Structure 1
Amino acid sequence: MSTITPVIHPAPRAKTAHGPVGGASRNWKAPIALGVFTLLGLLMLVVFGRDGISTMRLSTGSDLIQLPALELPTRATGVVITVLLLAITLVSSRLVYKRAKVPVWLISVFAFLLLVGFLVWASAGSTLPIPGLLFGSISLAVPLIFGALGGVISERVGVVNIAIEGQLLAGAFTSALVASVTNQPLLGLLAAMVAGMAVSFVLAAFSIKYFVDQVIVGVVLNVLVIGFTGFLYSQLLAPNSALLNQPPKFERIHIPFLSEIPIIGPVLFRQTLIVYLMYVAVIAVYFAVFHTKWGLRLRAVGEHPQAADTVGINVARTRFLNVSLAGAIVGLGGAYFTLGSVGAFGKEMTAGAGFIALAAVIFGRWDPIRATLAALLFGFASNLQSVLSIIGSPVPSEFMLMLPYLVTIFAVAGLVGRSRPPAASGKPYIKS
């Protein structure tokens, strides 16, 4: 008589709405970071809170629609915001406990509330001009955004672009010289693109054709452009400034109807041609990188050049063309210094903007939109320290200058998501 051995199947794993229990590890980085900032907010807004009324001016004198100033009790507002920060921190902790991902929008709301709380605390007893603060932030961020877009394209195709600083400076010098001689700012703008492309072409030639270390080439190019433009400024522009260093600036263009929208109208739609080109460039680069055949080839070369070569993509040519395109975009940012902002070239006038743009690329995780937002953050922090010093805020200006870099360190450390560059970025491709 044969016996039948029962087959025992393992019990199915319990599932939740977010997948099997125990299947995904809990990542407590976001709740820990939010908890630290909540504690800092508690200390600043409540323990060391300030008394008085914080006034937020929402309109300028030339606005068609005048919004009333917003008056907030400083200490009470700080208490309310601290409670909201604590609630978001608890929600994020519960999500992680349930092995769910903390959504980006929740972190964004947390950051916005913390920023509002800081502004209210810093402006106690004073008036903070919100349109002026935002307008100045856009102005400071324009060259950073052009630099970040160029950096994204270069690194997406596999070339680390340390030479953004040199491309910005070359664009600023050339645009000032050409626009001064021709009295045509548009020609200066085109000359800036050519100058940025020339610097990037040298970077591409040495790093792609001769396999020289890309970081070393970029650093050398920065030093070379700084020295070369400084020498020409001292020997050529300074002695003949009336002829060679007084370029005509672009006039501000008011977009009908849009420029009259409260708050955002004066900030976004009363700008110069270069700023409007920046808007177009951000949208065009994002669409091209992620939604076109060109972008697919670019990303393929930056991620796996050998596989791209196998399917018939010329890796060297693709890298050459895209690094040159990136240089032209960065050159536009250099032109903004002389044709849209300062109005004349000065030695080392970019003041490290290229390296800040490179930090924006990393903070933005090599995405055009995110890199743009990171550049706007840098511009906002730089302008905020100037505005706070004008209204007599007790916040040290040095703190505001280092704030964007602290945020970048948190981003690179993975507290706001994993930051991974393109796999082949910085690696020369030698065809086998």
Structure 2
Amino acid sequence: MTTLSPTASDDGTIHLATVKQRHLKVPITLAVVTLLLAALFAFAPRDGESTFRLGDASAAVGLPDVAVPTALTAWTVLVLIALIAAAAFWLAWSYRDIPLWLTLLFGILGVFAFLTWAAADGLVPVTGLLFGAVSLSVPLVFGALGGVIGERVGVVNVAIEGQLLLGAFSAALLSSITGNPFVGLIGAMIGGVLVSFVLAAFAIKYLVEQVIVGVVLNVLVTGLTGFLYGALLVPNESELNRPVRFTRLEIPVLGDIPIIGPVLFNQTIIVYLMFVTVAVVTWALYRTRWGLRLRAVGEHPQAADTVGINVNRTRFWNVSLAGAIAGIGGAYFTLVSVPQFGKEMTAGLGFIALAAVIFGRWDPLRAALAGLLFGFATNLQNLLTVLRTPIPSEFMLMLPYVVTILAVAGFAGQIRGPAAAGKPYIKG
């Protein structure tokens, strides 16, 4: 990677000199993962056959199971990812950028090698694994999109956890009262907006430190929903905590595609809404006047102000929009995933969504893919428990968070967020 650095000649003239920099963070991370897999395969060897089920009982087109020798396949794939790690070192040492496809290939092969080792004399339902990953990632994706919009406009949204939790509570309550999941979905969006209103008011109008406001809001919403759960929902569970949930809607033809059909096209309204929201936000952020104004306010509010953009008003309304989107993620808990609201049911997923924002480099599509990665890690934890691998159960519970740390610290590289994120704007 090259950068321009100013240098002064003897006569005082300033010149821009090209300075080459080696970025070894990604190659080192790939090497560490390779060594960890090698240690796992060496000190906890597993033999037999690993079977991958590609078909699905509801699919129109059936695919046969694929069985591979466990040890031979795992070590063969390990050699391939070691070569990829070596290639990454060579590219970095040669001052070249490491292509994204190479890192993705490393990740796919690494997961395949690990699953092959874990599934010795067992079965990996590929469609079920991917379906569960998409399902678990829905709140993360909506939360990450809310975080991207908030930080792009200049407000650090640490309150994603609170927006998810209040959204889940509002959805359960209103869906139970009305018997209509769509009313619950609207209520979840309103719940997310209420949290974002408080965040915007303190961060934009009263110039309070945004991270502190976000943390306080998370604690406040956790306590508030916990109190209302015990005082309101538990005594009236049958009337107020039995939400009517969304059912799956299969898209004809597309739902019959092997493997990906049941995963992507046999889902609920909220999942389809997630696909649409990611596409619309990604397009609008870079292709519309709204997106241009939003990015201008988050990068250089003074310049935006000079061309007539009301900086604080733009921030306020876009933070509210971010809260509404995060609230949809909260609705997924009670309108799809779980049949009722429970105390602290979001379990810190708002903070993982915030990590997805950073890992995705404040880009909607990248952040959504990061959310899918973390959802996959969570579902992988459940599969490994079923396969009875020799990995301790305590580490199984740590797996999603270990993947989050590796992704943000190891693969995010040297990144820079929006220049004005977290900085209040005072006109004049």
TM-score band, normalised by shorter chain: over 0.9
- Structure 2 residue 162 is matched with structure 1 residue 166: yes
Q: Distance in 1 between matches of 2:30 and 2:95?
A: 17
Please report how far the alpha carbon of residue 236 of structure 1 lies from its aligned counterpart in structure 2 after TM superposition: 1.3
Paired AA for residue 213 in structure 1: E
Q: Identify the residue that residue 151 of structure 1 maps to in structure 2.
A: 147
Q: Identify the residue that residue 325 of structure 2 maps to in structure 1.
A: 329
Q: Identify the residue that residue 182 of structure 2 maps to in structure 1.
A: 186
Q: Distance in 2 between matches of 1:145 and 1:293?
A: 24
1:22-421 equivalences under 5 Å are 24-46=20-42, 48-413=44-409, 415-421=411-417
Question: Matched residue of 2:20: which SS?
Answer: coil
Question: Matched residue of 2:50: which SS?
Answer: strand
Deviations 1:216-274 (A, max 9, x none): 11111111111111111111111111111111111110110111111111111111101
The structure number with the bigger radius of gyration is: 1
Q: Runs of 5+ in structure 1 lacking a partner?
A: 1-21
The change in CA–CA distance for 1:429 and 1:23 in structure 2 (over 3 A counts) is closer
Q: Find 2:423's aligned residue among 395, 420, 427.
A: 427
Q: Distance in 1 between matches of 2:324 and 2:98?
A: 38
1:13-24 equivalences under 5 Å are 24=20
Q: Distance in 2 between matches of 1:150 and 1:337?
A: 17
Q: Distance in 2 between matches of 1:314 and 1:120?
A: 56
Q: Runs of 5+ in structure 2 lacking a partner?
A: 1-17
Please report how far the alpha carbon of residue 361 of structure 1 lies from its aligned counterpart in structure 2 after TM superposition: 0.9
Q: Distance in 1 between matches of 2:296 and 2:68?
A: 52
Residue-pair matches, total:
412
Question: Matched residue of 1:113: which SS?
Answer: helix
Tell me the TM-score normalised to structure 1 length: 0.92
Query: Is the contact made by 1:54 and 1:127 (CA closer than 8 Å) also made in structure 2?
Result: yes
Q: Distance in 2 between matches of 1:182 and 1:86?
A: 57
CA RMSD, Structure 1 to Structure 2 (Å): 1.7
Q: Identify the residue that residue 7 of structure 2 maps to in structure 1.
A: none
Q: Distance in 1 between matches of 2:43 and 2:236?
A: 58
Identity score, percent: 62
Question: Matched residue of 1:382: which SS?
Answer: helix
TM superposition outliers: structure 1 runs of 4+ over 6 Å: none
Q: Identify the residue that residue 19 of structure 1 maps to in structure 2.
A: none
Q: Distance in 2 between matches of 1:129 and 1:304?
A: 49
Q: Distance in 1 between matches of 2:343 and 2:410?
A: 37
Query: Is the contact made by 1:197 and 1:331 (CA closer than 8 Å) also made in structure 2?
Result: yes
Paired AA for residue 267 in structure 1: V
Query: Is the contact made by 1:46 and 1:79 (CA closer than 8 Å) also made in structure 2?
Result: no
Please report how far the alpha carbon of residue 411 of structure 1 lies from its aligned counterpart in structure 2 after TM superposition: 4.3
Paired AA for residue 141 in structure 2: I
Q: Distance in 1 between matches of 2:70 and 2:168?
A: 43
Tell me the TM-score normalised to structure 2 length: 0.92
The change in CA–CA distance for 1:407 and 1:385 in structure 2 (over 3 A counts) is closer
Q: Distance in 1 between matches of 2:100 and 2:28?
A: 15
